[in-house]
Structure 1
Amino acid sequence: MEDVDELCAIFDENFGVRFYGHYSLSFDGRTLLRIPHVKMLHLNSLTQAHNTEALAKLEHLHSLHLGIYELENSDILGIETLRSLRELTIISDKKILNLQHFKAYSHLEHLHVGGKVKNLDAIGDLQDLNYLALHSISKLPLHFINRLKKLKHLRILLGGREHIQEIEENEIDHLEICRVRGFHDLTNITSFRALTSLVIEDQIQLNEIRFDREMKALEELSISNCKGLTGLTGMKQLSSMRKLRIFKTAIDFDCFIHQNLPSSLSIVEFATAKSKVDQEIQNSLLKLGFQKWSSSF
């Protein structure tokens, strides 16, 4: 461990240390006292951990990723040395995590938070936040996002909510909504006027996506496994659209492809998971001059 700590002292915050997979034993936080110079720390896939107050001794932390299933301390964010973090991932499945402490996290830029939480609106005080992922957080209102003026990347993963209507016009660049139970309303999508990338996955109750106002910045759109989705309209409003992926939806290909599509669109994938049908669709797309979708997106 002393050798690891020496490397932590030499290298910057891109050099990380990870402890994971302690399924039958509780991880002893005092182990961290042997790497006081660590800057990026991952404690994840842990069932239990004790002596987590040892985090207070890590004065060089830049990035912290906590995934402890039975988190013992619901006020772990109150540890003073964590206030200088720029990147934080924390998910609590058992204890109700108190987010009120975020009011003192003035340097935080990247946050992935999930599980059982209270005082979610305290995230709105993170004025430098540019990345936010909300993981398995159900129904709590999202008005606080309107206070995050530097937010560029928003991901809403799992949990349950019907819509995101609370989010007003913003400068968010990337939006992802994945496997959110009960989600069926995306009528305010044009409030995301600066959006360049939109990803929608596993939303079986979403029936329509309609762009009823111009979205000049949107370049990439990926929709997958939204089996109830029958309508994707207003594509002509997306004057910068380059890449489009539609996979396992109820959208009729012939109706869709004959609507007024943006002239900038050059890469299209449309698939149903039925091999014969998909081959015919692919041939049609190639004849229309569209390129194949790259898996790098």
Structure 2
Amino acid sequence: MRKIWKKKILINDPVALDRVQIEQDLRDGNQVFVQFSHPDFYGSILEEVDELCARYDENFGVRFYAHYSLSFDCHTLLRVPHVKMLNINSLANAHNTEALAKLEHLRNLHVGIYELENSDILDIETLRSLTELTIMSDKKTLNLQHFKAYTQLEHLHVGGKVKNLDAVGELEDLNYLALHSIGKLPVHFVNRLRKLKHLRILLGGREHIREIEENDIDDLEICRVRGFNDLSNIANFRSITRLVVEDQIQLNEIAFDREMKALEELSISNCKGLSHVTGLKQLPSLRKLRISKTAVDFDGFIHQPLPSSLSTVEFATAKSKVDEEIQQSLLKLGFQLT
């Protein structure tokens, strides 16, 4: 099942809380964050926020961000002990991170601290009950070996400077994984994640992902990975329904040389060295196709055998006159435009 991203409602540095509106926003299926950019805005409202944290599930959260020229004091978190969804991100510095150990109700945590003081922050015992975690470390190398104890984690976005990345393979219930700026560290541990459905590889640098064997991943995204030039093992993603490839200037070809029965959506954009996308006939379920800002020749591309399931096509070159002509050609061929 495709991951559903909920709309986020942000209540910034409030003087008072509109409880009726918060209730309505949550009933409408949104996530609601009360967020604070500076200690001057804490006042006595944090205790009221904690009351709401105790009442609602993890779709109601608290965020601390910015705090420019200050180091965020994590002892502040002790004023919201019932928080279930917590973001402490877009922060340059923070101290007293051990206070996270007191948050026994925490299920969803986002940590983005430029100068993270504790490289073993993941060893905090209460974090082992998390189901969702986003954690980035830009300066200090984050130790991931503690993931062996994270038996409930289903969603992980991790990046920056890390060590023991292979420990991610211990997360048996992981459904969603985003690897952000992890350099050329091998990703063979993905083969041990039998429940993984969503894989995103963002930024960093690597030439390929050939170490990933046959799998049941449903959704694959590769975006702005420096030096990436080889997607020859795409057929190993036998259950994939959606493939997104963006900003890969060294990728010259995407060839579907084996049948991929499940693939429904294919999006390729800003891959300026890409001149060939072949074998689309091998995609009998393909419904939506987007190719934008590549070196693929439209006339040669559109006359290859295409699956009968294909109904929506976008093909753009960023040249307005050429794109107008392409759109007219697509309409004449019976395709819908996005």
Is the partner of 2:113 in helix, strand or coil? Answer: strand
- Within 5 Å, give how 1:189-204 maps onto structure 2: 189-204=234-249
User: 1:180 maps to what in 2?
Assistant: 225
Give a deviation string over 1:42-101, Cα, whole Å, max 9, x none.
011000000010000000001000000000000000000000000000000000000000
User: Is the counterpart of residue 102 in structure 1 residue 134 in structure 2?
Assistant: no
Cα offsets for 1:123-167 (capped at 9, x unmatched): 000000000000000111111000000000000000000000000
Alignment partner of 2:185: what SS?
coil
Alignment of 1:214-233 (within 5 A): 214-233=259-278
Q: Which AA in structure 2 matches 1:168?
A: E
State how far apart, in whole Å, the 2-side matches of 1:133 and 1:204 are: 21
- Selected match of 1:84 from 122, 125, 129: 129
Give the equivalent residue in structure 2 for 1:115: 160
Matches within 5 A, 1:146-295: 146-293=191-338
Q: Could you tell me how far apart the structure 1 residues matched to 2:298 and 2:152 are?
A: 47
Report whether the alignment pairs 1:139 with 2:184: yes
Q: Aligned residues: percent identity?
A: 81
Output the CA distance in 2 between the equivalents of 1:288 and 1:47.
Answer: 54
Q: Measure the CA separation in 2 of the matches of 1:24 and 1:283.
A: 55
Unaligned runs of 5+ in 2: 1-45
Distance 1:176 1:29 in 2: 34
| CA distance in structure 2 between the aligned counterparts of 1:182 and 1:109, rounded to whole angstroms | 30
Offset from partner CA, 1:143-193 (integer Å, 9 cap, x none): 100000000000000000000000000000000000000000000000000
Letter in 2 for 1:229: L
SS in 2 for 1:276: helix
Partner of 2:308: helix, strand, or coil? coil
Distance 1:287 1:21 in 2: 52
1:224 is displaced (CA, Å) by 0.2
Measure, in 2, the Cα distance between the counterparts of 1:117 and 1:100. Answer: 10
SS at match of 2:263: coil
Counterparts of 1:117 and 1:274, CA distance in 2: 42
Q: Distance in 2 between matches of 1:145 and 1:159?
A: 17
Provide the residue aligned with 1:34 in structure 2. Answer: 79
TM-score, structure 2 length as denominator?
0.86
Q: TM-score, normalised by structure 1?
A: 0.98
C-alpha displacement of 1:24: 1.3
- The whole-number CA distance in structure 2 between the counterparts of 1:186 and 1:23 is 42
- Please show how residues 123-134 of structure 1 align to structure 2 within 5 Å: 123-134=168-179
Distance in 2 between the 1:178 and 1:282 partners?
A: 26
Q: Any idea what the Cα deviations from partners look like across 1:237-286, whole Å, max 9, x if unmatched?
A: 00000000000000000000000000000000000000000000001001
Q: CA RMSD for the aligned pairs?
A: 0.4
Gaps of 5+ in 1: none
User: How big is the shift at 1:292?
Assistant: 1.2
**Secondary structure class of the residue paired with 1:36:** coil
| Partner Cα distance (1:138, 1:277) in 2 | 38
What is the aligned partner in structure 2 of residue 46 from structure 1? 91
| Structure 1 runs of 4+ with >2 Å offset | none
Count of aligned pairs: 293
Q: 1:22 Cα shift?
A: 1.8
